[in-house]
Amino acid sequence: MTLYAGIDCGTQSTKVIIVDSQTARILGEGSAPHQMISESGGRREQEACWWTDALETAFAQAIRSAGIDGREIRALSVSGQQHGFVPVSENGDVLAPAKLWCDTSTNAENQWFIDALGGEKAAIERLGLLPQTGYTVSKIIWFKQQHPQLWQQLRYVLLPHDYLNFWLTGNACAEYGDASGTGLLNIRTREWDKEAADLIDPEGILWQALPPLVRAEQMIGTVRPEIAEKLGISPQTRVASGGGDNMMAAIGTGNIKPGITTMSLGTSGTLFTFAEKPVVADSAMIAGFCSSSNGWMPLICTMNVTSATSTIQSLLGLDIQTFNDALNSSKPGADGLIMLPFFNGERVPQLPDARASLHNMDGSNLTPQNLSLAVVESATYGLRFGIDLFRQQGVTTREIRLTGGGARSEKWRQIVADIMATPVVCVTNQEAAALGAAVQAIWSDTLTTETTPETQLAALCERFVQLDENTRTQPDPVNVPVYESLYQNYLTLLTSEYPEVSL
């Protein structure tokens, strides 16, 4: 038995899993929640100590549930929520609460940065992607403007997973995948962009604070003795580079070769795939991130998936079983009822101020069954919009691997397969980011010179990533052309309501 740990520090909680590399089994799991500082102006922050406290609690739970001696764990890896900014001083003190990916209070700072780069087209040409308000760079600018005295103490710019690595090992570094979501990395060359950093801070404090970059399979150190004692593990436990949660979820779903797309039917919708070359899209809606498997990971995020279906479910007073029964009671197209599901605005397409609307109602089609189906179909059309953006960049999808709460619905899986005209399947382990981190820890710890690192990672994913064949769903040849026509109707409605949208 050879043990490894995967840690996933998300927005709501920190999760820990412990795996046996010899049997490819998860032996133990633990989880602990986080608080959040939230204000109406878009402020979303967390104290970094909340993550470390949660990590201690979750690690203890995982060790207990596994029934093992924590000192047997050979290595671990950290997955973290992307884009957050942890400012750290020379002596390791966190200088301010960490602004999170979902903090929207720095929109003005983000626009200033894009303008300073020369506009959207120039930003994409320079960095390979367009910085968004949620990215780290606007938070850095805000910190410099709002806390000039603390800015003078800044020594390390760290993302959440970087900070946990720093807490664990005392070493500050950044991995290409997560770093590509800062807005300061050139995703083609995988290098920090000095001129971009100097636009923000000509004095060079920012440039000196950007940590050295490491490859995905690189070990960065061992756990400090005082931290090892807190976690109940050995100070010889090795720490791998880790990465952003989406990058680790790509590993945890086996999405490390072209042709596979991971699709999350969660509160929001996320699509990402693997590319062997940088995907620098004309569309700012595609984030051309680096992967944590030494490739690239183009990603698209929509805002209204189970958040939209839950709104309708609550309106109708339906529990999840009754809602799923309603989906099965209506035919594709919901008797003509069609929805634009933008309850939370929308990111793809870029409609932040949009609102949801219901169309083509009459006295016979406005039923709970049709309304339930219309919201599921429209949320899925939004994800199809993203798939089409990928296709425009030459990115093909031969299989969709589903995660998230919506993936538990057999009917919704069939709708996804039909609208995308692509087979879908679920993975057996829904904690994909934590599993991806554990696999990365094994990868980094067991590298040999016999084959390439990428080949060795592929072999590990074959062993650890299990597909639930009971959920495998093929497109219905009858429904595929029906949904293609319905999707075109959706696009017609979308562009008539929002003429600025183009595909």
Enzyme catalytic residues: 245
d(CA 31, CA 120): 40
| Rounded distance between C-alpha atoms, residue 95 and residue 17, angstroms | 30
Residue 427, beta-bridge partner list: 467
CA–CA distance, 180 with 160 (Å, rounded to integer): 14
- Amino acid sitting at position 475: P
What would the two tokens of residue 351 be?
Answer: 């409609």
Question: Quick check: 385 and 340 in contact, CB under 8 A?
Answer: no
Reduced to 3 states (helix: H, G, I; strand: E, B; else coil), residue 483 is helix
Pairing of strands 174-175, 213-214: parallel
Asked whether the beta carbons of 259 and 398 are under 8 A apart, the reply is: yes
3-class secondary structure per residue, 100-164: CCCCCCCHHHHHHHHHHHCCHHHHHHHHCCCCCCCCHHHHHHHHHHHCHHHHCCEEEEECHHHHH
Distance, CA of 248 to CA of 412 (rounded, Å):
25
d(CA 35, CA 253): 28
> 208 a known binding residue?
no
Contacts with 59 (C-beta within 8 Å, 6 or more apart), sequence order: 5, 7, 16, 30, 70, 231, 232, 233
DSSP states along 74-87? EEEEEEE-TT-BEE
Token pair for 141:
């600018």
Query: Which residue in the block uniquely carries the two structure tokens 């090795």?
Result: 238
**313 labelled as ligand-binding?**
no
Is residue 177 within 8 Å of residue 243, measured between CB atoms? yes
As a whole number of Å, the end-to-end CA separation of the chain is 52
Beta pairing class for 44-46 and 243-244? unpaired
Binding residues for substrate: 82-83
